C-alpha cells in the first residue's frame, strides 16, 4: 500500500512538472479537469501526451476569449429559448381568450422558431466554425515552431508511423468547434430545465432530474472505456492506411511495374476490411452500451414521474406536457455532455499523435554565434548506427578554408558503405546526438569561425545553415511548387526585383531554361530537379565564406552537364573563397584543384589523402585503383 501511495505521489509530481509547477505544488482546477479527460485505462505515457495536447487546445481557447464569450452568450440564449417558449405557451393556454393571450401565443411561436435549430443555434454553430479555424491557426503555428528545431530523423520516423502533421491537425480541428458548443450549451440547457421544473412545477421533479443525471454518469463508464478501446484500434488501422496510401503515389515506376502495385492494393484492401470489421462487429454492442441503459432508465423515471404527476398531484394536461418536455430535454442535454467524453475518445488518437509530434526530440542548439566558415577539425571521430560503428579506430581529419578569389576544394571518395554520406550528414548537422537514440557520433567535431574552434553541437542552429550549406544526396524539392518558387524560397524576404534577378542568374548557371521556371518540379526530369536543388542551396549568399556540401550532387547528371554545374558552383564560391566539400563517384565530378580523401571499405577510415593531381598520376594509389574499378 505504501509503494502504491509513493507511485501515486510520483505521478502527481510528474503531472505538476508538466503543468509548469514545482513538485508538491497544487495544480489548477483546469489542469485537473484536463487530466481527468486525458486519463484512460491504458499507457500512462500516452495519457501524458494527450494531456499536453489538451493543454495546447486550452491555451488556444484562452487566446480567443472574446470568440468563446460570443459562443457562450449565443449558447445561453439558445438554451433558455426553448424553456421560455414552452412556458409562454403554458401561460397563453391558461389565459383568457384576450389580446394578452393572443400576444403570448405569438411570443411563444416566435421564441420557439428562433430557438431550436433556428437563427440562435446556427449563429452558435458558425461561431464554432470560426473557432475551429482559429484552432487550426494555433496548432499550425505551434507545429511550425516545432518543425524548425525537431530532429529530422525522428520526424521522418513519426511520419512513417503516424502520417503527416496536417492530417493530425485536421482530425482535431474538425471537431473542436462543435464540441465546444456542446460543452458550453448543453450544461446550460440542463440547468435551465432543472430550474424550470422547480419553478414552474415542483421541487420533486427537479430532484428526479438530479437523480437521473447522476445515474447517467454511472451508466456511461462502460461505454467510455469501450469507445477508448475501439478508438485506439481504429486509429492504428487508420494510420496504417494513410502511411500505406500516401507513399504509393511517389513510388518509382520500376518498382510499381514489378507487381508491387497489386500487393499495395491488396494491403490497402485488407486494412480497409479490418477497419470496417472493427466498427461493424462492435456496432451493436457500442449502441447498447451508449444508448441502451440510458434509454431504459429514462423511460422508467419518466413513467414514475407521469404517474406521480397525474394520479398523486392531479396535474393538468399542460403541466404533464411541460413535465415531459423539461425532464426529457434536461436528461438529453446531460447525456449530450457525457457524449462529449465519448467523442473525446474518438479524437483521442489525433490528440495522441499531436502529443507525440510535439514531444519529438529537438536538435541540439548551442549559444555560440558563427560568422564565416574557416574549416572543420575532426578528432577521434566515430559514427554509430545501433550496433554498427563507422571509423572504429577513430577518424582524425582537418579541412581548411579558401581565400577570396580562390575557393578550397575537397573531394571524399570510396566504396559504398565506407561512411562518406554519414560524415557529410554529421558535418551538415543532419546526424546528431539525440538522447535515447542509438544513432549518433562520438569524439570531437569542431568548426572554425572568426579564428575560434567550437563544437558544432554548441553553435546556434539558426546560424549554421548560413555557414554550412548542404546539398543532400536525396533530391529534396517541393514537388508541387514551381522551379522559381523552389529556388527563391531562401530569399523570399528580399525585394521582388532582387529575388527575381537571383532566380534568373542561378537558373542560367544550372542550365534551367527561363521558360521552365514556372514549371512544377514534379514535371521535371531527375537531373533537372537535382540542378534546381543545387540552385536553391546557392541562392543564399551571405557576405562571408561558407562550406558548400555536395553529397553526390552530380550523380544524376551526365558528364557534360556535371562539368558545367561544377563550373557554376566555382563561380559562386570564388568571390569569398568558399570551401566546397563533395562526394563523387566519377573523376569528372571532382574539381582539378581538389584535395582528395579516400575512405576504405566498411567504414575502416582514411586509407589515403592528397591532391588530385598527385594521386591520379600514381597508378598504384588507392584513388587510381578506386576509379580503375569503377
User: pLDDT by residue (tens digit) across 573-626?
Assistant: 999 999 999 998 888 888 889 999 999 998 889 999 999 999 988 888 998 888
- Mean per-residue pLDDT of the chain: 78
Average pLDDT of 347-368? 84
Q: Which domains does the chain have, with CATH numbers?
A: 29-244+257-358 (1.20.1560.10), 376-467+542-629 (3.40.50.300), 479-538 (no CATH)
**Strand (E) positions, 450-501?**
452-455, 468-471
Mean pLDDT of 81-98: 71
The answer to whether residues 477 and 521 touch, using CB atoms and an 8 Å cutoff, is: yes
Least confident of 252-261, 359-368, 591-600: 252-261
Tell me the C-alpha distance between 598 and 190, whole Å: 78
Q: Is 623 exposed, middle or buried (0-12, 13-18, 19+ CB in 10 A)?
A: buried
Encode pLDDT of 493-519 as tens digits.
Answer: 788 888 888 888 888 888 888 888 888
Residues 181/75, Cβ–Cβ less than 8 Å? yes
Helices (H), 163-202: 165-196
Per-residue pLDDT band for 343 (boundaries 50, 70, 90) equals low
Q: Running DSSP on this structure, what letter comes out for residue 477?
A: -
**DSSP string of 572-618, one letter each residue:** HHTTTT-EEEEE-SSGGGS-TTPEEEEEPGGG--EEEEEEHHHHHH-
Give the residue from 307, 292, 308, 301 showing the smallest Cα distance to 331.
Answer: 301
Q: pLDDT at position 114, please?
A: 66
The residues with which 608 forms a beta bridge, in sequence order, are 598
Residue 109 pLDDT grade (very low, low, confident, very high; cuts 50, 70, 90): confident
- Alpha-carbon span 475 to 477, nearest angstrom: 6
Q: Which pLDDT does position 117 carry in this prediction?
A: 59
pLDDT score, position 21: 45
Taking residues 119-140, what's their average pLDDT?
Answer: 75
262 pLDDT tier (thresholds 50, 70, 90):
low
- pLDDT exceeds cutoff 80 at 471: yes
User: 118 or 90: which carries more pLDDT confidence?
Assistant: 90
Residue pair 468/428 in contact (Cβ under 8 Å)? The answer is: yes
Is the pLDDT at 320 greater than 60? The verdict is yes
Confidence tier at 475 by pLDDT (50, 70, 90): confident
Higher pLDDT, 201 or 453: 453
- Taking 70 as the threshold, does the pLDDT of residue 41 lie above it? no
Is residue 515 classed exposed, middle or buried when 0-12, 13-18 and 19+ CB atoms within 10 A define those classes? exposed
Q: Provide DSSP, 77-140.
A: HHHHHHHHHHHHHHHHHHS-SSHHHHHHHHHHHHHHHHSTTSHHHHHHHHHHHHHHHHHHHHHH
Q: What is the pLDDT of residue 227?
A: 67
Other CB atoms closer than 10 Å to residue 139's CB: what's the count?
Answer: 25
- Which residues contact residue 239 at a Cβ distance below 8 angstroms, ignoring those fewer than 6 apart? 161, 162, 163, 349, 353
Q: Which of 558, 501, 502, 498 is nearest to 528 (CA)?
A: 558
Provide the total of helices (H) and of strands (E) in the chain, helices listed first.
Answer: 20, 10
Highest mean pLDDT among 9-23, 182-196, 311-325 belongs to 311-325
More confident residue, 455 or 39: 455
Measured distance CA(232)–CA(347) in Å, rounded = 10
**Predicted pLDDT at 446:** 94
Query: For residue 18, what pLDDT is reported?
Result: 44
Tell me which H or E stretch contains 628: helix 622-629
pLDDT number for residue 488: 84
Residue 396 confidence (pLDDT) above 90: yes
pLDDT at 110 over 90: no
The closest of 379, 384, 373 to 450, measured between CA atoms, is 373
pLDDT at 611: 93
| High-pLDDT (> 70) share of the chain, % | 79
CA atoms within 13 A on the CB side of 534: 38
Is pLDDT above 80 for 172? no
Find the mean pLDDT for residues 76-90: 72
CB 511 within 8 A of CB 561: yes
Amino acid at each position: 500500500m505504501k509503494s502504491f501511495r509513493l507511485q501515486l505521489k510520483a505521478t502527481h509530481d510528474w503531472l505538476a512538472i508538466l503543468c509548469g509547477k514545482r513538485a508538491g505544488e497544487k495544480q489548477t482546477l483546469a489542469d485537473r479537469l484536463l487530466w481527468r479527460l486525458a486519463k484512460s485505462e491504458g499507457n500512462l505515457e500516452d495519457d501524458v501526451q494527450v494531456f499536453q495536447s489538451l493543454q495546447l487546445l486550452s491555451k488556444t481557447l484562452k487566446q480567443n476569449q472574446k470568440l468563446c464569450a460570443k459562443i457562450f452568450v449565443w449558447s445561453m440564449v439558445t438554451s433558455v429559448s426553448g424553456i421560455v417558449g414552452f412556458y409562454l405557451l403554458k401561460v397563453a393556454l391558461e389565459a383568457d381568450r384576450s389580446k394578452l393571450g393572443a400576444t403570448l401565443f405569438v411570443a411563444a411561436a416566435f421564441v420557439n422558431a428562433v430557438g431550436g435549430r433556428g437563427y440562435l443555434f446556427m449563429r452558435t454553430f458558425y461561431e464554432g466554425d470560426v473557432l475551429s479555424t482559429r484552432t487550426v491557426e494555433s496548432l499550425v503555428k505551434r507545429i511550425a515552431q516545432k518543425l524548425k528545431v525537431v530532429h529530422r530523423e525522428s520526424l521522418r520516423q513519426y511520419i512513417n508511423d503516424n502520417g503527416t502533421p496536417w492530417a493530425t491537425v485536421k482530425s482535431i480541428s474538425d471537431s473542436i468547434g462543435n464540441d465546444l458548443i456542446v460543452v458550453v450549451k448543453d450544461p446550460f440547457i440542463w440547468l435551465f430545465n432543472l430550474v424550470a421544473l422547480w419553478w414552474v412545477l415542483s421541487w420533486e421533479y427537479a430532484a428526479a432530474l438530479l437523480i437521473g443525471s447522476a445515474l447517467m454518469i454511472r451508466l456511461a463508464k462502460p461505454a467510455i472505456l469501450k469507445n477508448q478501446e475501439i478508438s485506439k484500434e481504429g486509429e492504428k488501422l487508420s494510420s496504417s492506411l494513410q502511411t500505406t496510401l500516401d507513399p504509393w503515389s511517389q513510388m518509382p515506376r520500376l518498382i510499381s511495374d514489378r507487381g508491387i502495385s497489386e500487393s499495395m492494393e491488396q494491403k490497402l484492401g485488407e486494412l480497409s476490411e479490418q477497419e470496417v470489421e472493427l466498427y461493424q462487429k462492435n456496432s451493436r454492442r457500442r449502441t447498447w452500451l451508449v444508448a441502451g441503459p440510458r434509454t431504459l432508465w429514462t423511460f422508467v423515471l419518466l413513467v414514475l414521474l407521469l404517474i406521480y404527476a397525474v394520479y398523486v398531484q392531479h396535474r393538468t394536461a399542460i403541466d404533464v406536457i411541460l413535465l415531459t418536455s423539461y425532464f426529457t430535454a434536461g436528461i438529453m442535454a446531460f447525456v449530450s455532455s457525457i457524449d462529449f467524453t465519448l467523442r473525446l475518445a474518438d479524437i483521442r488518437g489525433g490528440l495522441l499523435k499531436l502529443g507525440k509530434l510535439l514531444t519529438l526530440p529537438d536538435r541540439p542548439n548551442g549559444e555560440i554565434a558563427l560568422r564565416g566558415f574557416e574549416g572543420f577539425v575532426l578528432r577521434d571521430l566515430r559514427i554509430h548506427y545501433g550496433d554498427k560503428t563507422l571509423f572504429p579506430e577513430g577518424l582524425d581529419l582537418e579541412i581548411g578554408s579558401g581565400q577570396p578569389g580562390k575557393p578550397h576544394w575537397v573531394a571524399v571518395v570510396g566504396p559504398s558503405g565506407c561512411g562518406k554520406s554519414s560524415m557529410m550528414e554529421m558535418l551538415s548537422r543532419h546526424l546528431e546526438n539525440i538522447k535515447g537514440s542509438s544513432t549518433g557520433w562520438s569524439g570531437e567535431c569542431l568548426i572554425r569561425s572568426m579564428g575560434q574552434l567550437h563544437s558544432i553541437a554548441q553553435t546556434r542552429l539558426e546560424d549554421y545553415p548560413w555557414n554550412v550549406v548542404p546539398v543532400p544526396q536525396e533530391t529534396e524539392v517541393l514537388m508541387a511548387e514551381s522551379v522559381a518558387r523552389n529556388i527563391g524560397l531562401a530569399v523570399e524576404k528580399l525585394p521582388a526585383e532582387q529575388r527575381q534577378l537571383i532566380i534568373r542568374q542561378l537558373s542560367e548557371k544550372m542550365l534551367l531554361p527561363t521558360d521552365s521556371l514556372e514549371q512544377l518540379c514534379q514535371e521535371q526530369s531527375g537531373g533537372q530537379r537535382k540542378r534546381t536543388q543545387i540552385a536553391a542551396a546557392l541562392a543564399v549568399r551571405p557576405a562571408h565564406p561558407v562550406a558548400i556540401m555536395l553529397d553526390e550532387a552530380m550523380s544524376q547528371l551526365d558528364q557534360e552537364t556535371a562539368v558545367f554545374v561544377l563550373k557554376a558552383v566555382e563561380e559562386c564560391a570564388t568571390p569569398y573563397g568558399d570551401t566546397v566539400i563533395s562526394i563523387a563517384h566519377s573523376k569528372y565530378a571532382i574539381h582539378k584543384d581538389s584535395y582528395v580523401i579516400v575512405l576504405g571499405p566498411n567504414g575502416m577510415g582514411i586509407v589515403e589523402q592528397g591532391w588530385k593531381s598527385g594521386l591520379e598520376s600514381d597508378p598504384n594509389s588507392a584513388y587510381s585503383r578506386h576509379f580503375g574499378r569503377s
